[in-house]
């Protein structure tokens, strides 16, 4: 089956918004095994829309449209596609009742225009919208070609897709689809080379998406039943984990901070942060997770050298002797954070995020990361080299990711990815 | 002049990446006074690309293409468009020299495939690429219709657009364009209603883009010379500022934190932060600005109640009596941050970011914001109600924006947007 995506909206043609709907629908259709030949954007212009729909219907089995289902006069997607697919629209009392109820809940009254939204296909079918006023529409012409119309608002479109459209397409494709997303620390190329054969499989499929400092591997399985699809997904994810080891940190989570908060909670541990170059980024990510207060109470943003001394007890003499961007200062910050907070674990960062400030032997992007463990008195120390083409944002984001990963590893009793571990009392070498 | 945008790339059709090029080009073309009728995405398939190019050229004056200029066999945009525009390609020694030099700089050797990238239009012209290997191409057919080909990598495409393509289109449109972006705190609807008449002007044009808690107003002027266009832009921006007042906070900056750091530096002031619900977000935004260390040294992430007492000296009794989410606690945090840091200004936040944790009379989204001023001993206190449909991220982002704005206003000697101001020693009421 081949498909085309048509997004309707003048705001897209003016560049007011970026077309995330097209990406979402492309990815979902690919997972259903449906090939997307074209994406189009057209304005709210019936003549141009009709020409496009006729053209697309002549070469593809399925048209997926979003946008143009609103109440205003220039929202004409439904009328236009109905005509092109040889169908008509009629007024649907049930949908009109839902629209009236929706307005009543928000203490407003529908206008005469809103009646337009209650028009539904006669030969085709309506698609219920549980998240807004406009129902979608499903048309099918004599030759079996289909057109699916959904709202343009991404939140409504995605919900209607997941609840109504995807299940119907799965039934049409005679299968059930399940996806899982494995999150992996490290760049796409280093990951892809290790697991290349697993990307060649047709079912489950795997696709890799690169993020800053990490990648997502999305595994999608097609099977006759949901249970089989889930099992196939899970088995493939386990194969990835077996090869990738601890850098594959979790499945179906929004990010590493969520994993860290969960692991700390499971282990009954508290963590503290001491940040210089990242300036609160690690604390902010941890506290972005609901329920973080169970595992995180104290964050120190010691951007000035004096703050490192005053809040974390880092000796001024040490800063002077080793430089504030150094392993010994990072280690002292991590120890100081444990003392000042009473937490079991801490991470500390000091580095050069740039653009200025490079030191001899320490270019922009040099970051010292230390992890303190009050249970053992040990400190883990890593020198990160995050420079090259990276800008300030990128350096800070990747440094924070290393810090979160070190917290995760300390909580789980895993060794750090690299660097050295200092016993209590052991002097801290320059790195 | 009417235009169509064609983005070439299988990775777009698979949904691997979001099509930011289409948005960028649409916005730029709109500013040039060129109407965009269609955006298309097509894969690396010569037959489909050729059909699309012929169709688009039959109805539009200008085709703007990105992608498909790479060295591999399926990168065929240049060949395909040349055929459709009745042109041919020939090998260009100068471009080949540049490609070889580029590879030499990165210690690699070009392959035979890379020679393809040195092929340039015979009747049309090449477009130099100062940021990558592939030159662009400019075709013009007998009827005067044009096609512009640029690389797909957004960084290269945007640079080529700004340096080469936009100036040529400006000359073609017989004008010069200048844009300025005014940043304004507040939602799109509240802003738009105040300045609606200014959006109706044809030149300069103004467009509003909604962000979380703030909006961008982009003003674009067309004139015969750059100086005139700039002057017209500047004058229109001043009209906006006169109506919008202090919520219009800056022009052509990446965000409010940049403005705050600049203002603090200009005033020779230091600021400190004390954060509970935002968990380091304000500190992180300030330290995201290069040179922040001149104005920011201390950030306290006091997520636990005990941390508020230990680091900021907030009496445990006060927390118990008033609740940790309260005006008196926010005020005490702001005063404590001044004392613990020695800064002239501070902001403090305590609130309910959700999803759980609502209190009687204090739903999720209730945030107390206090600003301390060591120079006067005054504390400004605001109760923010950021709930409703907002999620945790949204509540935190908007709370941080209010905090940055309060810092800006204190540094500039402007009154807070709302709330009350407490003199030294004045008891803090519940809000």
Residue A139 has pLDDT above 80, yes or no: yes
How high is the pLDDT of residue B76?
87
The string of DSSP codes covering B84-108 is HTT--EEE-HHHHHHHHHHHHHTT-
* B192-196 average pLDDT score: 82
The total of other beta-carbon atoms located within 10 Å of residue B19's CB is: 27
pTM over 0.95: no
Question: Which has the higher per-residue pLDDT, A85 or A114?
Answer: A85
**Does B14 contact A at CB distance below 8 Å?**
yes
- How close B365 comes to chain A (CA, Å)? 14
Q: What is the pLDDT of residues A188-239, one digit of tens each?
A: 667 877 888 898 898 999 988 888 899 999 999 999 999 999 999 999 999 9
**Does B46 contact A at CB distance below 8 Å?**
no
Residue B388 has pLDDT above 90, yes or no: no
Structure tokens at A4: 């085309």
The total of other beta-carbon atoms located within 10 Å of residue B104's CB is: 11
Task: Name the band, by pLDDT with cuts 50, 70 and 90, for residue B52.
Answer: very high
Cα B322 to Cα B331, B337, B383, distances in angstroms: 12, 19, 14
Question: Which has the higher per-residue pLDDT, B142 or B290?
Answer: B290
> What's the number of CA atoms in the CB half-sphere (13 Å) around residue A364?
15
Mutate to test the interface with B, among A301, A333, A356 (most CBs of B within 10 A): A301
**Does A393 contact B at CB distance below 8 Å?**
yes
Residue A275 has pLDDT above 90, yes or no: yes
State the alpha helices, DSSP H only, in B1-91.
10-13, 20-31, 46-59, 77-84
Within 8 A of A23 by CB-CB distance, chain B residues are: 12, 15, 17-19
Structure tokens at B329: 């606690």
How high is the pLDDT of residue A173?
86
Residue A73 has pLDDT above 80, yes or no: no
Q: Do A297 and B287 touch (CB under 8 A)?
A: no
Q: What is the pLDDT of residues B247-302, one digit of tens each?
A: 999 999 999 999 999 999 999 999 999 999 999 999 999 999 999 999 999 999 99
Q: Do A307 and B298 touch (CB under 8 A)?
A: yes
What distance in Å separates the CA atoms of residue A306 and residue A178, rounded to the nearest whole number?
54
**Does A333 contact B at CB distance below 8 Å?**
no
In the stretch 94-133 of chain A, residues with CB closer than 8 A to chain B read none
- Distance from chain centroid for Cα B265: 23
Q: What is the pLDDT of residues A238-274, one digit of tens each?
A: 999 999 999 999 999 999 999 999 999 999 999 999 9
Structure tokens at B9: 């790339």
Q: Do A14 and B25 touch (CB under 8 A)?
A: no
Residue B189 has pLDDT above 80, yes or no: no
- How close B429 comes to chain A (CA, Å)? 27
- How close B190 comes to chain A (CA, Å)? 18
Cα B164 to Cα B148, B160, B229, distances in angstroms: 11, 5, 19
In the stretch 230-259 of chain B, residues with CB closer than 8 A to chain A read none
State which residue of chain B sits closest to A312, comparing Cα positions. B311
Q: Do B311 and A293 touch (CB under 8 A)?
A: no
* B337-346 average pLDDT score: 98
Q: Do B39 and A36 touch (CB under 8 A)?
A: no
**Does B42 contact A at CB distance below 8 Å?**
yes
Residue B241 has pLDDT above 80, yes or no: yes
Among A23, A43, A287, select the one facing B19 at the smallest CB separation.
A23
How high is the pLDDT of residue B210?
81
Q: What is the pLDDT of residues A157-173, one digit of tens each?
A: 999 999 999 999 999 88
pLDDT more than 70, % of chain B:
100
Within 8 A of B52 by CB-CB distance, chain A residues are: 38
* A146-159 average pLDDT score: 95
How high is the pLDDT of residue A279?
98
Residue B110 has pLDDT above 90, yes or no: no
| CA nearest to A64, candidates B51, B15, B23, B16 | B15
How high is the pLDDT of residue B108?
79
State the alpha helices, DSSP H only, in A154-255.
154-160, 166-172, 188-199, 226-244
Within 8 A of B283 by CB-CB distance, chain A residues are: 279-280, 283-284, 301, 303
State which residue of chain B sits closest to A352, comparing Cα positions. B290
Name the residue with tokens 């471009």. B95
Within 8 A of B36 by CB-CB distance, chain A residues are: 13-15
pLDDT more than 90, % of chain B:
80
Task: Name the band, by pLDDT with cuts 50, 70 and 90, for residue B380.
Answer: very high
Average pLDDT, chain B: 94
Of the ranges A318-322, B140-144, B209-213, which one carries the lowest mean pLDDT score? Answer: B209-213
Q: What is the pLDDT of residues A300-309, one digit of tens each?
A: 999 999 999 9
Which 8-state DSSP code applies to residue A392? H
Within 8 A of B356 by CB-CB distance, chain A residues are: 290-291
Question: Which has the higher per-residue pLDDT, B5 or A69?
Answer: B5
Among A39, A280, A392, select the one facing B301 at the smallest CB separation.
A280
How high is the pLDDT of residue B393?
94
The total of other beta-carbon atoms located within 10 Å of residue A101's CB is: 11
How high is the pLDDT of residue B362?
95
Strands B35-42 and B2-8: parallel
Q: Do A288 and B13 touch (CB under 8 A)?
A: no
Three-state SS at B63: strand
How high is the pLDDT of residue A102?
82
Among A13, A15, A297, select the one facing B307 at the smallest CB separation.
A297
The string of DSSP codes covering B209-254 is EEETTEEEEEEEEEESSHHHHHHHHHHHHHHHHHHHGGGEEEES-S
Residue B194 has pLDDT above 90, yes or no: no
Structure tokens at B77: 């945009």
Q: What is the pLDDT of residues B75-97, one digit of tens each?
A: 889 999 999 999 999 999 999 99
| CA nearest to B73, candidates B51, B99, B45, B100 | B45
Within 8 A of A292 by CB-CB distance, chain B residues are: 279, 303
pLDDT more than 70, % of chain A:
100
Average pLDDT, chain A: 94
Contacts for B221 with CB less than 8 Å, ≥ 6 apart: B177, B178, B179, B203, B204, B205, B228, B229, B230, B232, B233, B236
How high is the pLDDT of residue B325?
97
Q: Do B39 and A13 touch (CB under 8 A)?
A: yes
Mutate to test the interface with B, among A18, A279, A298, A395 (most CBs of B within 10 A): A279
Q: Do A300 and B301 touch (CB under 8 A)?
A: yes
């Amino acid at each position: 089956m081949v498909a085309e995506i048509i997004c309707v909206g003048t705001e897209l043609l003016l560049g007011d918004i970026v077309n995330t709907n097209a990406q979402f629908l492309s990815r979902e259709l690919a997972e259903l095994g449906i090939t997307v030949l074209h994406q189009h954007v057209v304005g709210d212009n019936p003549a141009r829309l009709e020409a496009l729909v006729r053209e697309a219907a002549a070469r593809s089995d399925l048209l997926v449209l979003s946008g143009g289902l609103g109440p205003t006069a220039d929202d004409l997607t439904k009328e236009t596609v109905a005509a092109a697919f040889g169908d008509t629209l009629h007024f649907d009392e049930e949908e009109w009742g839902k629209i009236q109820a929706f307005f009543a809940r928000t203490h407003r009254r529908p206008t005469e225009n809103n009646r337009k939204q209650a028009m539904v296909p006669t030969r085709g079918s309506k698609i219920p919208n549980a998240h807004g006023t406009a129902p979608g529409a499903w048309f099918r012409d004599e030759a079996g070609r289909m057109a699916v119309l959904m709202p343009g608002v991404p939140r409504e479109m995605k919900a209607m897709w997941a609840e109504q459209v995807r299940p119907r397409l799965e039934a049409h494709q005679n299968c059930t689809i399940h996806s899982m997303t494995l999150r992996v620390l490290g760049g796409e190329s280093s990951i892809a080379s290790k697991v290349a054969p697993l990307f060649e499989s047709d079912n489950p499929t795997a696709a890799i998406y690169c993020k800053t400092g990490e990648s997502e591997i999305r595994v999608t399985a097609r099977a006759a039943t949901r249970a089989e699809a889930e099992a196939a997904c899970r088995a493939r994810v386990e194969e990835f984990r077996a090869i990738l080891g601890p850098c594959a940190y979790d499945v179906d989570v929004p990010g590493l901070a969520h994993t860290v908060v969960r692991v700390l909670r499971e282990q009954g541990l508290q963590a503290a942060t001491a940040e210089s170059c990242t300036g609160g980024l690690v604390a902010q990510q941890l506290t972005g997770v609901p329920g973080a207060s169970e595992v995180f109470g104290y964050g120190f943003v010691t951007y000035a050298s004096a703050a490192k001394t005053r809040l974390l007890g880092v000796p001024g003499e040490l800063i002077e002797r080793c430089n504030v961007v150094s392993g010994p200062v990072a280690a002292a910050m991590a120890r100081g954070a444990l003392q000042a907070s009473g937490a079991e674990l801490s991470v500390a960062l000091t580095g050069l995020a740039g653009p200025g400030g490079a030191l001899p032997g320490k270019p922009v992007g040099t970051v010292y990361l230390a992890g303190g463990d009050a249970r053992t008195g040990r400190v883990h120390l890593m020198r990160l080299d995050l420079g090259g083409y990276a800008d300030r944002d990128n350096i800070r984001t990747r440094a924070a990711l290393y810090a979160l990963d070190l917290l995760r590893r300390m909580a789980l009793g895993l060794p750090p990815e690299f660097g050295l571990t200092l016993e209590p009392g052991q002097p801290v070498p320059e790195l």
